[in-house]
């Protein structure tokens, strides 16, 4: 068969890795390499990149989730435990899942350092792929994912899995970078992302390329309205999006009925 005779189905599937189109397997491998590289400096870089504002965003996110004592929560892509520690303090039983073992190791080390102060709830770390979660259907009361969904190879599959593992009445909450819609802030943020973030990554984490990818991955992520439609297509109802700082980040939510 010559090239002109090929059909669309003959072409291999590609997905975006930043501005590159790669195979799904290559994206999974490369994303894993990114987070393996930055795991030890991840929280330090978060503080530097956001001037500490990520802590406020995460506090606001957990307030929206409203974790309750005794609830079972799956915190996907939650490796370092930032979201989980906040929910365990409210009495929830949190399973932290991440595809990257190095990120989980950082979270587990942090949990040990924190000692037994989170005895109100419980905390478990497990290596999981968001696209194929190894839990039974109708298991969790809430599913959270913060700054992780844009790194998933097939976002629609991850959303479908989130819906599957939630119990009827369960809630989905996602915190993610989005598209800045405030004029002025958008231009300033683009300049900061292009010029400064990779340099900060090099200085603090010794890795400019990984943070260049993170900038590109944010820009390739669907806009707020489109991502909300994706959540609805996965089966969630009463979907909602809450922009923060003009869409610099956004909290998406939905319910399983």
- Burial status of residue 202 (CB atoms within 10 A of its CB: 0-12, 13-18, 19 or more): middle
105 in a known ligand binding site: no
Whole-angstrom distance, CA of residue 89 vs CA of residue 67? 9
Question: 237 vs 165, 193, 230, 232, CA distance in Å?
Answer: 16, 34, 11, 6
As a whole number of angstroms, the longest Cα–Cα distance in the chain is 66
Whole-angstrom distance, CA of residue 9 vs CA of residue 12? 8
Residue among 33, 22, 24, 147 at smallest CA distance from 101: 33
Question: 139 vs 162, 166, 203, CA distance in Å?
Answer: 10, 6, 43
80 in a known ligand binding site: yes
Joined together, the tokens standing for residue 166 give 């939630």
129 in a known ligand binding site: yes
130 in a known ligand binding site: yes
Q: 42 phi and psi, to 5 degrees?
A: -60, -50
Annotation: binding site for S-adenosyl-L-methionine: 80, 98, 129-130
Annotation: binding site: 80, 98, 129-130
């Amino acid at each position: 068969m010559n090239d002109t005779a090929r059909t669309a189905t003959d072409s291999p599937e590609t997905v975006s890795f930043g501005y590159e189109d790669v195979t799904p397997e290559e994206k999974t491998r490369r994303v894993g390499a990114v987070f393996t590289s930055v795991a030890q400096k991840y929280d330090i870089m978060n503080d530097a990149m956001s001037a500490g504002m990520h802590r406020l965003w995460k506090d606001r996110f957990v307030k929206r989730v409203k974790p309750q004592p005794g609830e079972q929560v799956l915190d996907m892509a939650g490796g370092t435990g930032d979201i989980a520690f906040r929910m365990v303090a409210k009495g929830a039983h949190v399973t932290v899942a991440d595809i990257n073992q190095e990120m989980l190791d950082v979270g587990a080390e942090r949990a040990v350092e924190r000692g037994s102060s989170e005895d109100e709830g419980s905390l478990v770390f497990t290596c999981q792929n968001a696209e194929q979660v190894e839990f039974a259907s109708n298991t969790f009361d809430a599913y959270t994912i913060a700054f992780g969904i844009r790194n998933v190879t097939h976002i629609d599959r991850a959303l479908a899995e989130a819906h599957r593992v939630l119990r009827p009445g369960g809630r989905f909450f996602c915190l993610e970078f989005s598209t800045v819609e405030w004029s002025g802030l958008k231009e300033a943020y683009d300049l900061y992302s292009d010029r400064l973030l990779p340099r900060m990554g090099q200085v603090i984490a010794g890795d400019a390329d990984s943070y260049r990818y993170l900038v590109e991955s944010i820009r390739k992520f669907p806009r707020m309205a489109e991502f909300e439609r994706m959540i609805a297509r996965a089966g969630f109802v009463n979907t909602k999006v809450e922009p923060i700082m003009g869409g610099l980040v956004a909290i998406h939510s939905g319910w399983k009925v």
